[in-house]
Amino acid sequence: MSNDTNEFVAPSSALVTGGAGFIGSHLVRRLVKMGTTVRVLDNLSTGRIANLDEVISDVEFHEGDLRSPEAVSQAVNGVEVVFHEAALPSVPRSVRDPRTSLDCNVTGTLNVLIAARDTGVRRVVFASSSSVYGSNPTMPKVETLVPAPISPYAVGKLAGEGLCKSFAEVYDVETVALRYFNVFGPYQDPASQYSAVIPRFIAALLNDEAPHIHGDGEQSRDFTYIDNVVNANLLAAQGPQEAVGKAFNAACGYRTTLNELVEEIAKALDVEPRSVFGPTREGDVRHSLADIGSAREILGFEPTVDLAAGLKETVEHYRDAGVSAPA
């Protein structure tokens, strides 16, 4: 379902931080397919080496932590482009442990940017998040809105964007930030307590259980299939000088409520939709919808896989993998 790789300019060499994770591993597989020499840096705290099974012999794998300047410098040295996907994910995790979240996501990003500056990397593409918009009620979310992050995770992502902009202006390090909106697809871990809603909902329905929804289910998100996000990364790596130092939404530009999502997943699984509801989760925002006009105009980004098609691919992956519901 991916775009034809001929539509993109392959970097000669690239580092993918967090390359054993969900998004990172998809990006690694695409880069390998394009003929890029790929290096991966991952501490395997949330990523899994199994995510890279089909390409592990084609990549240079470094097991190391973003918080180690030495490990980061060694991994960055000699590559043309850095795709900085690594982070300690999850809003709830950051609420529970803000110090570790910010240490990994802010200090880690600073280490990547310093190494990129010192080793002559051409461009750094930074994985940011729609969570930076936070409580700002304006819809859709356009990049010129004043950020209003709620959770420590969102604050860390916004700080990472600020560092990218600073390094672009002060040190002439080319940086582009992508604000991801609720990315989903194969290889997301449904068994993690911090897993995103789609793999958790799929796992529950596959196991004849009712998905658990925080709140009334009428909160909405701009769910974005992984292929669209990989495409956005490749376009950001090759984008014009006009893109440098800026942040762009990476999304589909339409929103779906969680209640509608359960119905769509149930349809893809050919089962009856059902849900159980609980308290609203601390740090969550009510609605999220991206304006992708800037990414379309400057990067040439266009989502190619819609929600229904993406869910079909994702459901087939989890069914084939024999997933079990999270504890």
What pLDDT sits at residue 137?
87
Residue 259: inside a domain: no
The answer for residues whose C-beta is within 8 angstroms of residue 240's C-beta and 6 or more apart is 298
By the 10 Å C-beta count (0-12 exposed, 13-18 middle, 19+ buried), 9 is classed as exposed
Q: Is 153 among the catalytic positions?
A: yes
31 within domain boundaries: yes
Q: Give the active site residue among 153, 180, 187, 225.
A: 153
Q: Is residue 193 part of a domain?
A: no
Q: Is residue 60 a part of any domain in this protein?
A: yes
Q: Which residue has the tokens 């084939």?
A: 320
Q: What are phi and psi of 227, to 5 degrees?
A: -60, -35
How far apart, in whole angstroms, are the C-alpha atoms of residue 321 and residue 327? 17
Q: What pLDDT tens digit does each residue of the chain (327 aa) get?
A: 445 555 799 999 999 999 999 999 999 999 999 999 999 999 999 999 999 999 999 999 999 999 999 999 999 999 999 999 999 988 889 999 999 999 999 999 999 999 999 999 999 999 999 999 998 889 999 999 999 999 999 999 999 999 999 999 999 999 999 999 999 999 998 776 656 899 999 999 999 999 999 999 999 999 999 999 999 999 999 999 999 999 999 999 999 999 999 999 999 999 999 999 999 987 677 888 999 999 999 999 999 999 999 999 999 998 888 765 443
- Check residue 326 and give its pLDDT: 43
State residue 327's pLDDT score: 37
Number of H helices, E strands in the chain: 11, 13
Beta bridge partners of 176: 125, 246
* Residue 162 covered by a domain: yes
Domain containing residue 30: CATH number: 3.40.50.720
State the chain's maximal CA–CA distance in angstroms.
Answer: 56
Query: What was the pLDDT predicted at 7?
Result: 79
Residue 130 near residue 179, CB atoms below 8 Å? yes
Task: Count Cβ atoms below 10 Å from residue 67 Cβ, excluding itself.
Answer: 15
Residue 281's pLDDT is what?
80
Q: Is 220 domain-assigned? A: no
Does a structural domain hold residue 327? no
pTM higher than 0.85 = yes
Question: DSSP letter at 243?
Answer: G
Domain count, the chain: 1
206 vs 323: CA distance, rounded Å: 8
**Range of the structural domain that residue 127 is part of:** 12-181+226-251+285-304
Contact of 100 with 46, CB cutoff 8 Å: no
Strands (E), the chain: 13-17, 37-42, 59-63, 81-84, 123-129, 174-180, 183-184, 212-214, 220-221, 224-225, 246-250, 256-257, 276-278
Give a yes or no: residue 260 inside a domain: no
